[in-house]
C-alpha cells in the first residue's frame, strides 16, 4: 500500500494547485447559501459570479500543476473531489428550483458512485487513473456551462430546463461509458498507473 511521508504530505497540501482546490471546496457552502437565499436578479448574478470564480480556479490549478511540475498524488485525488462536491451541491440547489434537474442529480449520483467504487478498488491495489479522461472533462464542461445558464436564468421555463437536463444526462452517459471501458482495460489516452512507481510525488 502506497503511503506518503509527513514531509511529502506537507509539501503536497501547500502546493498552489492543491490550495486552489481547497479554496473551491470552501466556496461550496457559501455558494449554496447565496443561491438558496437569493431573491433578486442581482442576488442570482452574485451566486453565478462565485460559481464562475470556482470554475476559474479549477482551470488554473490544472494549468499550474502541469506547467510547473506540481502534479501530486493528493492533487489527483483532491481536484476531482472538489469538482464533484461542487457539482452535486449546485445540482441540488438547482433541482430545488428546477425539478427536471432531479433526474440529472440522480444520474450524476449513480455515475459518481460507480466511479468512487472503481477508484477505491483500483487504489486498494496501489494504482489509480493517471488523470481525467477527455470524455470526463467534456462532461464536466457541459455540466458547469448548463448549471451556469440556469443560475443566471432563475425564471427559465420548465421546457428549457428539460432540454438542459437531457443534454447533461447524455454527456454523463458518454463519460460513464468511456470510464467503464477504461477500468475494464480499454485505452482512451489515460492509463491506470502504479503509485509505487510514482517518483514525482
Above 60 in pLDDT, residue 200? no
**pLDDT top residue among 157 and 8:** 157
Considering the chain, what is the average pLDDT of its residues?
A: 84
Residue 100 lies in a domain: yes
148 is a domain residue: yes
Judge contact between 131 and 76, C-beta under 8 A: yes
pLDDT confidence of residue 186? 59
* pLDDT for residue 95: 96
Q: Which residue has the cell 511529502?
A: 8
Phi then psi dihedrals of residue 191, to 5 deg: -100, 160
pLDDT band at 98 (very low <50, low <70, confident <90, very high): very high
Considering its fold, how many domains does the chain have in total? 1
pLDDT in tens, 55-93: 888 888 878 877 777 777 777 788 888 888 999 999 999
pLDDT tens digit string along 117-138?
987 887 777 776 766 778 888 9
Q: Does residue 84 sit within a domain?
A: yes
Does 1 reside within a domain?
A: no
201 pLDDT more than 50: no
pTM, entire model: 0.80
**CATH number (domain holding residue 102):** 1.20.120.1760
Confidence of residue 9 (pLDDT cuts 50, 70, 90): low
pLDDT number for residue 19 = 87
Cα distances (angstroms) measured from residue 58 to each of 1, 21, 127, 172: 29, 7, 24, 19
Residues of the domain holding 103: 6-197
Q: Say how far apart CA 27 and CA 75 lie, in whole Å.
A: 18
Residues 157-184, mean pLDDT to the nearest whole number: 92
- Residue 191 has, within 13 A of its CA and on its CB side, a CA count of 3
- Cα(17)–Cα(166) distance, integer angstroms: 33
**The predicted structure's pLDDT at residue 110:** 94
The reported pLDDT for the residue numbered 152 is 93
Amino acid at each position: 500500500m502506497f503511503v506518503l511521508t509527513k514531509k511529502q504530505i506537507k509539501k503536497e497540501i501547500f502546493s498552489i494547485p492543491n490550495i486552489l482546490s481547497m479554496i473551491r471546496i470552501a466556496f461550496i457552502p457559501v455558494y449554496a447559501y447565496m443561491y438558496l437565499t437569493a431573491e433578486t436578479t442581482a442576488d442570482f448574478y452574485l451566486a453565478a459570479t462565485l460559481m464562475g470564480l470556482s470554475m476559474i480556479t479549477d482551470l488554473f490549478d490544472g494549468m499550474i500543476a502541469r506547467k510547473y511540475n506540481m502534479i501530486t498524488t493528493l492533487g489527483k485525488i483532491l481536484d476531482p473531489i472538489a469538482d464533484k462536491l461542487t457539482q452535486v451541491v449546485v445540482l441540488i440547489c438547482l433541482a430545488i428550483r428546477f425539478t427536471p434537474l432531479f433526474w440529472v442529480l440522480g444520474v450524476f449520483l449513480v455515475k459518481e458512485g460507480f466511479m468512487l467504487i472503481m477508484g477505491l478498488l483500483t487504489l486498494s491495489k496501489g494504482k489509480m487513473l493517471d488523470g481525467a479522461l477527455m470524455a470526463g472533462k467534456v462532461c464536466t464542461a457541459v455540466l458547469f456551462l448548463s448549471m451556469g445558464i440556469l443560475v443566471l436564468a432563475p425564471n427559465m421555463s420548465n421546457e428549457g430546463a428539460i432540454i438542459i437536463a437531457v443534454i447533461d444526462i447524455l454527456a454523463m452517459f458518454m463519460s460513464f461509458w468511456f470510464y467503464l471501458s477504461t477500468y475494464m482495460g480499454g485505452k482512451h489516452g489515460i492509463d491506470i498507473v502504479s503509485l509505487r512507481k510514482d517518483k514525482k510525488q
